[in-house]
Amino acid sequence: MKLAQICFMSHLSYYNLDGKIFIESENNISVNNRSFRYGDGFFETIKLVDGNIQLKQLHFERIATSLATLGFKVNKHFSFEVLEQQIMALAIKNNHNKLGRIRVTFFREDAGLYEVTNFHPHILIQSFGLNETVNKLNENGLVIGVYEIAKKSCDVFSNIKSNNYLQYAMAALWAKENKLNDALLLNSNNNIADSTIANVFIIKNRTIKTPALTEGCVAGVMRKHIIETLKIQNIIVAETTINIEDIATADEVFLTNAIKGIMWVRQFGDSVYANFETRKIINLLK
């Protein structure tokens, strides 16, 4: 076998679809896929460290909630134990088990243009390698802005990581075009919902605030973990309404997600922030 062929084989990537592992170049998803047509489904982003799913219980709870909210009916062979086994097997095969990102996508069975005939979800598992920098505070800080073109609704679906991700995708493109690290999204009341990749927290006079779930933000796993951890330390996080002025006049701002944990925001418009209290929260989480 030629050296070029050996190198190619060593870099093959795999995915798991409904319990079976395939080479990434193999397409096993139908053109009638309802996720492609309608965004009918949701996804979960999970961090693996040394072969362990971080915040596993919170992830599985959110998956169960999303399945119920979207009316999926899992078959008798589905269990979170099996899902975890499939995640780990794929991560090991792709050599991502030491430090990796797992994306699990749930989407509905193919059907006609509109009707649904099968409520059982298809499950697609993918894995990606991560750099060690995701475990460290971003020392340079993020520069963010507000994406005002589209507004998020505040309903039962707004808390789900839906496969219909258009507003976030367009906001991310806008941020890149404007040389920003991220963009905040507004809800229909012109209040802050979340960012393209994270939940939003602000600190003002040592009071910590984050948009309530009723404000249309995604029900982030890291968001919940932080709130619960701080509560144990008798530090209250106010889940409330936050507007653009609150962001601009905050003492500190940070973003959170399951992969990067806490990301310090350095600048929003003309406002520049410190990260003294943010560092304390990071230490509490450790």
pLDDT, tens digit (0-9, with 9 covering 90-100), for 189-202: 999 999 999 999 99
Three-point CA angle 266, 272, 277, nearest 5°: 65
CATH of the domain at 36: 3.30.470.10
Q: Are residues 150 and 43 in the same domain?
A: no
Three-point CA angle 107, 173, 101, nearest 5°: 50
Residue (of 127, 147, 154, 167) closest to 39 by Cα position:
167
What's residue 265's pLDDT?
A: 98
Asked if residue 137 belongs to a domain, the reply is no
Asked if residue 136 belongs to a domain, the reply is no
Question: Which residues, in sequence order, are CB contacts of 261 under 8 Å at separation 6+?
Answer: 134, 135, 222, 282, 285
Asked if residue 146 belongs to a domain, the reply is yes
pLDDT digits (tens, 9 = 90+) for 1-38: 454 444 444 568 999 999 999 999 999 988 888 888 88
Q: Which of 107, 131, 155 corresponds to the end of one domain?
A: 131
CATH of the domain at 216: 3.20.10.10
Q: Are residues 45 and 155 in the same domain?
A: no
Lowest-confidence pick of 43-52, 59-68, 82-91, 101-110: 101-110
Distances (CA, A) of 111 to 30, 32, 33, 108, 123: 10, 7, 8, 9, 16
Lowest-confidence pick of 28-32, 67-71, 215-219: 28-32
What's residue 8's pLDDT?
A: 43
Q: Are residues 37 and 116 in the same domain?
A: yes
Q: Are residues 22 and 75 in the same domain?
A: yes
Q: Are residues 94 and 191 in the same domain?
A: no
What's residue 9's pLDDT?
A: 46
DSSP designation for 239: E
- Domain housing 96: 3-131
Tell me which residue has tokens 């450790």: 286
What's residue 119's pLDDT?
A: 78
Asked if residue 36 belongs to a domain, the reply is yes
Q: Is the pLDDT of residue 181 over 60?
A: yes
Whole-prediction pTM: 0.92
Strand duo 261-268 + 271-272: pairing: antiparallel
Q: What's the chain's length in residues?
A: 286
Asked if residue 216 belongs to a domain, the reply is yes
Q: Which SS3 state, helix, strand or coil, does residue 37 take?
A: helix
Q: Are residues 82 and 190 in the same domain?
A: no
Q: Which of 72, 105, 131 corresponds to the end of one domain?
A: 131
Q: Are residues 32 and 62 in the same domain?
A: yes
Residue (of 34, 1, 7) closest to 115 by Cα position:
34
Report H helices in the chain. 3-10, 34-38, 56-69, 80-93, 166-177, 221-232, 244-248, 276-285
What's residue 118's pLDDT?
A: 67
Q: Are residues 177 and 123 in the same domain?
A: no
What's residue 123's pLDDT?
A: 96
And the tokens for 37?
A: 């047509």
Domains: count for the chain: 2
Q: Are residues 49 and 181 in the same domain?
A: no
Q: Is the pLDDT of residue 51 over 50?
A: yes
What's residue 112's pLDDT?
A: 60
Strands (E), the chain: 14-17, 20-23, 41-49, 52-53, 99-108, 121-129, 142-152, 182-187, 192-195, 199-204, 207-211, 237-240, 252-257, 261-268, 271-272
Residue (of 161, 162, 238) closest to 200 by Cα position:
238
Q: Which SS3 state, helix, strand or coil, does residue 199 take?
A: strand
Q: Are residues 214 and 248 in the same domain?
A: yes
What's residue 30's pLDDT?
A: 86
Q: Are residues 147 and 280 in the same domain?
A: yes
What's residue 5's pLDDT?
A: 45
What's residue 32's pLDDT?
A: 83
What's residue 131's pLDDT?
A: 95
pLDDT digits (tens, 9 = 90+) for 71-116: 999 888 899 999 999 999 999 999 999 999 999 999 987 766 666 6
Q: Are residues 251 and 148 in the same domain?
A: yes
What's residue 3's pLDDT?
A: 44
